[in-house]
Amino acid sequence: MTTTEPLTPRDPQLQLIAAALSAPFEPKEVKFKPQMVKNNRALAMGYIDARLIQDRLDEVLGVENWQDKYDFLPDGSVVCRLRLKLGGRWITKTDVGSPSEQPDSGDRVKAAVSDALKRAAVKFGIGRYLYRLPAQWVDYDPVKKQLVQLPQMPAFAIPKPKPQAPVQTPKASKPAPVPPPPAEPKPDIVVEAKTQPVPKIETPKVEAPKPEAPKSAAGLPTNGQELHRRLQEYDAKLASQKLCVRGALLAHVTQAGVKAGYTANMTDWTGPAIPFAVDIVKEFEQTVRSSKSEPRTAA
């Protein structure tokens, strides 16, 4: 019978550091280049800049807790030895970067150094998720040799929003207790003074006078609207007395006003048109009454 030793649980602090190192970058910081081209379509491959790796190491570990060393090989390749201080120990991981196809030798060396750093950082989890991105064919411009369309990032490649620290509201200090006022000394002898009640004098209420409608001299209508209303009422009164048909008075006054130079709309009449209309009404009433009166005969 064989016995196995129990597995040592991982350090929770190291788990948090590993998660922070391997967290995805912002989608706008991820770049894409064509890995394979077919006419105007290309297979996009995602990558990150070496400076993002340096920023991630500074942010998670601090500038004093990581080191990098490079060895240059005869074929132009570069070996990166990346050392991180994790849990009080220095851990080194190594990988090789290839030179680019740029014409300048210095640029080829820089590309190899950056590639070596990125490959070594992947072994610590930095940017490793980029290798799990689904293959996406996008539009490609063969003349400019660049991608026309950028692939969409899956959900696991988008960083989670950082929780905001709760805003602490300062506690209001309790007000100091107010001491009660000192008790007044009671007099030994209390003398009650009898006073006569003062009679209440009621002030009569004076109501503000209500504004009255303006009246013209001699009780004439003040404007054309009031003139038209009065003539309608008087026209109905004459018609009820069978002195004329309904509307005859209004028609007669309107026709007389038009002949005199006034507008056909009586409600617009003002000024001298008002007494003019009153005179026409008197003449009209006198005419209809005289025509309806019966001739008297001698007894």
Strand order in 31-38's β-sheet? Answer: 31-38, 41-47, 136-141, 146-147
Q: What is this structure's pTM?
A: 0.51
Domain range annotation of the chain: 12-157, 219-289
Structure confidence by residue, pLDDT tens digits, 51-97: 999 999 999 999 999 999 999 999 999 999 999 999 889 999 999 99
Q: Span 18-25, mean pLDDT? A: 94
Interhelix angle 248-259/273-292, nearest 10 degrees: 130
Structure confidence by residue, pLDDT tens digits, 193-215: 455 555 555 555 545 444 343 44
CA atoms lying within 13 Å on the CB side of residue 260? 17
Structure confidence by residue, pLDDT tens digits, 104-145: 988 999 999 999 999 999 999 999 999 999 999 999 998 988
Structure confidence by residue, pLDDT tens digits, 224-250: 889 889 888 988 888 888 888 788 888
Asked if the 12-157 domain carries CATH number 3.40.50, the reply is: no
244: number of Cβ within 10 Å: 20
CA dihedral 182, 184, 185, 186 (to 10 degrees): -140
- Please list, in sequence order, all residues whose beta carbon lies within 8 angstroms of the beta carbon of residue 92, skipping any fewer than 6 positions away: 81, 82, 83
